[in-house]
Chain A
Amino acid sequence: MDRIQGVKDSRNPVSGQNPRTPESLNPAVMARGLVRTYRRGAEKIQALKGIDLDIKRGEFVGVVGHSGAGKTTFLNLVGLMDRPTAGRLEVLGTDVTRRGVRLDALRRKNIGFVFQEFYLMPTLTATENVLLPTMWGKANGEWRMANGDSRGAGQRAMELLKLVGLGHRLTHKPSELSGGEMQRVAVARALINRPRLLLADEPTGNLDTTTRDGILNLLLALNRDSGLTVMVATHDLSLESRFTRVIRLEDGNVA
């Protein structure tokens, strides 16, 4: 259905998804017998031993467990950064275990990542860091959103930085920002391409308690206000109460 000129965009400001489209009826993530095995020298390590679970759209999911439980492996599979050894995985209705699926393009369009270590480019300003994911996949190198949004990407980057509370830090470089501020930039960066799934791997692992709460509140607000599906991996069991749903991983299995 074409949108009518002059009518305000009914899509969500963060995720850009329309809650009434039929695709929103698919679960955000569907895993069946998901196995991931690594080789470390001669040793075979089974990081995930056959996970079955569904994550509905709009959930705010905590993936908790001790280190080595398989949280990061699970997030990497859901985030399309890795392929499972066995089992079936559907992300936002696409079977990503099928051969020939281009993971990078899917990832660019649908998934936002936030890491424990922020991974901001030290040479770029906060705004430029947020814009970075918009330059991939273009032949001529320009800031343009993966979903083909015609609005200026720069404008959106600034709006997102304001949204995460960094409207006064647009031109600062990472070295001039605090840990909490850097993580906020990383969150804004994860949102620039209007993802439908936001994944955060230990996003508060490097932050003090106050800053940690600030980031969690931000993620919660994004989930609550825009229906964005958010998955947070953490080993901090005290955070469990913040999530709408908790998936507990133990030794590669859902506990």
Chain B
Amino acid sequence: MIWFSLAFKNLVRRKTRSILTVAGVAIAIAVLYSLFQFQQGYQSQLKGELGALGAQVMVVPKGCPYEAATIALHGGKWPRYMDEGLLDKVKANPGVLEAAGVIMDAVFAPGNKNVILLGIDEDYMKLRPAWRINGHWFDSDSAVIMGSTAAQDAGVKTGDYWVVPEKNVRLHVVGVLNRTNTQDDGFVFMPRKTLQKMSGLEGKLVLILVKARQVEKTDALVASLKASEVDMNVFPLSELLGTISSLMASTRVFVSAIILIAVILGGVGVLNTVLMAVFERTREIGMMKAMGGSRGDVFKLVWAETILTTVLGGVAGVILALISSRLVEAFIRGMIPYAPKGSLIGFSLPTMAMCVGLSLVLGLVAGFYPAFRAASVKPVEAIKAE
């Protein structure tokens, strides 16, 4: 379309200024895309991670339940333990179908890589119907099963021997898990007793995962577990999801305000730039009118220029957000206590459409006044103006 090609040529003419204006919009839109996608990704990934636990209820030692949740989901060292005897009490509850006691530890492999060790038994396996072991289950106290990523990082395969970093204990890799696309991929599993001994935590547990006999009676189960023992923290995972989600939702207001400010600032920047350009081009606009251009024609041209600027900015912003997603994610992760693993800022067509749509609206709004000013230029005065 000639209108847009003419508008585009006008933008190219003031290259630096146009690039800066487009960059301003791009940054605002990139922030919008990143934060919006982060919120969305956070929700869905969190749901996925909790689902992958294969349990409805989590029993952890007394302490901050969110810290406990983070440990349960991502593994790590946590200086709080409960007595292994609690596991039997939990199993004895009639509402419990399965209960798996887990002990955890974390060691540093060469290259400062964190290796998460999980001590489990057959009960854990029952919560993981989707597991496919390339090899077989533990056949001795020195057996180890590795998650696919963990095996890759350690450079071992089924049948190899693996020396636990820091502990200097040699274990036999009896199996490697097929990729599960859950947090399990990064873990190293060994018999609970082996890890307890290795870490000097005999008779201790970090976490008990509980599968309810009747999912709809989870609340009753939680209540009865809470009543039976005071030394542990019992909470349903749905509640955890709800709590973390509402925590995120409360930040949404704040985040939306930031986005709004960023977008408004971008819009004001565009308005200012286009208005300046209109003032500078007063004579040229006067000439267009002398050549028969109507108010509407001039209005359209300036509007087209503004819309082109903001839409270019919107597209550039989405691309910028996708390119910088890892960086932004790392940044946001550093700011909040818990974030699910995996890529949170991903490719999303609806969000992209929303961002580009918003930049279009931004152009329509920001361009209106400059276009009106340009349309109001009187040819005679414009051509006289020096």
A contact set with B: CB distance below 8 Å? 72, 76, 79, 81-82, 104-105, 107-109, 111, 113, 115, 117, 119, 121-124, 132-133, 135-137, 140-143, 146, 189, 193
Of the residues A105, A107, A123, contact of B290 by C-beta under 8 Å: A107
Q: Please name all residues of chain A whose beta carbon is closer than 8 Å to the beta carbon of B10 when the two chains form the complex.
A: 123
Query: Does any Cβ of A come within 8 Å of B108's Cβ?
Result: no
Q: With A76-B380, A81-B379, A119-B283 as given contacts, are A108 and B292 in contact (CB-CB < 8 Å)?
A: yes
Q: With A123-B12, A136-B297 as given contacts, are A81 and B289 in contact (CB-CB < 8 Å)?
A: yes
Nearest-Cβ distance from residue A180 to partner chain B, whole angstroms: 19
Name the residue of chain B whose CB is nearest to the CB of A201: B383
Nearest-Cβ distance from residue B233 to partner chain A, whole angstroms: 68
Name the residue of chain A whose CB is nearest to the CB of B281: A121
* Additional A-B contact list (13), CB under 8 Å, known A119-B287, A132-B288, A135-B297: A72-B384, A81-B379, A81-B383, A104-B293, A113-B291, A115-B287, A117-B283, A119-B283, A124-B6, A133-B292, A135-B3, A136-B297, A140-B1
Q: Please name all residues of chain B whose beta carbon is closer than 8 Å to the beta carbon of A113 when the two chains form the complex.
A: 290-291
Nearest-Cβ distance from residue B213 to partner chain A, whole angstroms: 70
Nearest-Cβ distance from residue B153 to partner chain A, whole angstroms: 56
Q: Please name all residues of chain B whose beta carbon is closer than 8 Å to the beta carbon of A137 when the two chains form the complex.
A: 292-294, 297
**When the two chains form their complex, are residues B288 and A136 in contact, meaning their CB atoms are under 8 A apart?**
yes
**When the two chains form their complex, are residues A136 and B284 in contact, meaning their CB atoms are under 8 A apart?**
no
Q: Please name all residues of chain A whose beta carbon is closer than 8 Å to the beta carbon of B291 when the two chains form the complex.
A: 108, 113, 132-133, 136, 189
28 sampled A-B residue pairs with Cβ under 8 A = A72-B384, A76-B380, A81-B289, A82-B379, A82-B380, A104-B293, A105-B292, A107-B292, A108-B291, A108-B293, A115-B287, A115-B290, A119-B283, A119-B284, A119-B383, A121-B284, A122-B13, A123-B9, A132-B288, A132-B291, A133-B293, A136-B288, A136-B291, A136-B292, A137-B292, A141-B2, A142-B2, A146-B292
CA distance in complex: A79, B380 (Å): 10
A-B pairs, top 4 by smallest CB distance, nearest first, are A108-B292, A119-B287, A123-B9, A141-B3
**When the two chains form their complex, are residues A81 and B294 in contact, meaning their CB atoms are under 8 A apart?**
no
Interface string of B11-27 (1 = CB under 8 A from A): 01100000000000000
Describe B's contact surface by its main secondary structure.
helix
Nearest-Cβ distance from residue B381 to partner chain A, whole angstroms: 9
Nearest-Cβ distance from residue A104 to partner chain B, whole angstroms: 4
Nearest-Cβ distance from residue A67 to partner chain B, whole angstroms: 12
**When the two chains form their complex, are residues B383 and A115 in contact, meaning their CB atoms are under 8 A apart?**
yes
Q: Please name all residues of chain A whose beta carbon is closer than 8 Å to the beta carbon of B2 when the two chains form the complex.
A: 135, 141-143
CA distance in complex: A105, B4 (Å): 22
Q: Please name all residues of chain A whose beta carbon is closer than 8 Å to the beta carbon of B288 when the two chains form the complex.
A: 132, 136
**When the two chains form their complex, are residues B289 and A104 in contact, meaning their CB atoms are under 8 A apart?**
yes
CA distance in complex: A236, B289 (Å): 27
CA distance in complex: A228, B284 (Å): 26
Name the residue of chain B whose CB is nearest to the CB of A83: B380
Of the residues B13, B283, B294, contact of A104 by C-beta under 8 Å: B294
CA distance in complex: A143, B6 (Å): 12
Nearest-Cβ distance from residue A71 to partner chain B, whole angstroms: 13
Q: With A121-B284, A136-B288 as given contacts, are A141 and B1 in contact (CB-CB < 8 Å)?
A: yes
Interface string of B359-386 (1 = CB under 8 A from A): 0000000000000000000111001100
CA distance in complex: A180, B329 (Å): 60
Nearest-Cβ distance from residue B2 to partner chain A, whole angstroms: 4
Name the residue of chain B whose CB is nearest to the CB of A112: B291
Nearest-Cβ distance from residue B315 to partner chain A, whole angstroms: 22
CA distance in complex: A121, B286 (Å): 12
Nearest-Cβ distance from residue B378 to partner chain A, whole angstroms: 8
**When the two chains form their complex, are residues B284 and A105 in contact, meaning their CB atoms are under 8 A apart?**
no
Q: Please name all residues of chain B whose beta carbon is closer than 8 Å to the beta carbon of A107 when the two chains form the complex.
A: 290, 292
Name the residue of chain A whose CB is nearest to the CB of B10: A123
Q: Please name all residues of chain B whose beta carbon is closer than 8 Å to the beta carbon of A119 when the two chains form the complex.
A: 283-284, 287, 290, 383
